[in-house]
Amino acid sequence: MHSVTAAGAGALRRTPVQERSAARVQRMLDAAAALLDEVGYDATTTSLIASRAGVSVGSLYQFFPDRRAVLQALAQRSFSRFSAVLSERVTTSRLQRWQDAVGVVVDVFVEFTRTEPAAQVLSFGGPVDRHTLDPQDDNNAVVAESLGEVLRLVRPDLVIDDRLRLALRVAVEAGDRVLELAFRRAPEGDAKIVAETKQLLVSYLAAYLD
C-alpha cells in the first residue's frame, strides 16, 4: 500500500523526536478530529484544538504552522490507518476474484468512514487540499494507486499501464462521489447505494480486467 506516515510528517513544522512530544501531537490530531465532527470546520480553531488536547496554543504552533497544517496531518494519518486496515482485510480474505477485491475495498472504506473520527468530513470535499497525500499528484490518484495494488494481489500478472491507470482513477472518482451520496442519505452509509457502488465499479472495470 502507498504509505503515509501516521503522524502526518509532511504537514508538521517540527517532527517530534521524544515519545512524549509524539504523544502530544497525536492528542492534537485526536482533538481536531473530534472537533470537526462536533462543531465543523469553521468553528474548529487552533485554540479549541489546543484546549481539547490539553496543551497550550504555543505548544501546538511548535509543531503546526496553522490550522490547515493540523488538518492535513490528520488527513494523512487517516489515510495511513485506512491503508493498514485495507491491507489486513485483503490479506485475511484470501480473495480469488478481482470483483471480490473491489467489494472489499468498498466495504473497508465504508466501515472506516463510519468509525474513524472526522473521516466523513475529510473524505468528501473536506478542508484539505488535493495534494495532501502526495505533493506531485492529488489525493484520489494515491487512492487509485492503492486500488491497483489490491487488484495485483488477486491478479499478479496484471500490468498497470497508462490505460488501466486512467480507468482506476475514473473508478475511484466515481466511487467517491456515489459513496458521498450514500453517507448523505444515511449516517452509516445507505446500504443500497453502497451495493450499487460495487456494481458500478465492477461493471466499469470489467472492460479492463476481464
CA angle 107, 80, 61 (to 5 degrees): 135
More confident residue, 166 or 20: 166
178 pLDDT more than 90: yes
Q: What pLDDT was estimated at residue 4?
A: 40
What length does the chain have? 210
How large is the average pLDDT for residues 177-205?
97
Q: Which helix (H) or strand (E) holds 112?
A: helix 98-115
Q: Specify the higher pLDDT residue, 127 or 92.
A: 92
Confidence class for position 131, pLDDT limits 50, 70, 90:
low
Considering only CA atoms, which of 118, 138, 161 is closest in space to residue 32?
Answer: 118
Full 3-state SS string of 140-164: HHHHHHHHHHHHHHHCCCCCCCHHH
| Residue 139 clears pLDDT 90, i.e. is over it | no
Band of residue 138 on the pLDDT scale cut at 50, 70, 90: confident
- State what percent of residues in the chain have pLDDT above 70: 85
What does residue 73 show for φ and ψ, rounded to 5 degrees? Answer: -65, -40
Structural domains of the chain in order of their starting residue, each with its CATH number: 9-209 (1.10.357.10)
End-to-end CA distance of the chain: 23
pLDDT tens figures, 25-63: 999 999 999 999 999 989 999 999 999 999 999 999 999
pLDDT at 5 over 50: no
Q: Output 118 or 7, whichever has higher pLDDT.
A: 118
Identify the weakest region by mean pLDDT among 74-78, 199-203, 204-208.
74-78
Q: Mean pLDDT of all residues in the chain?
A: 88
Over residues 149-160, the pLDDT tens digits come to: 999 989 999 999
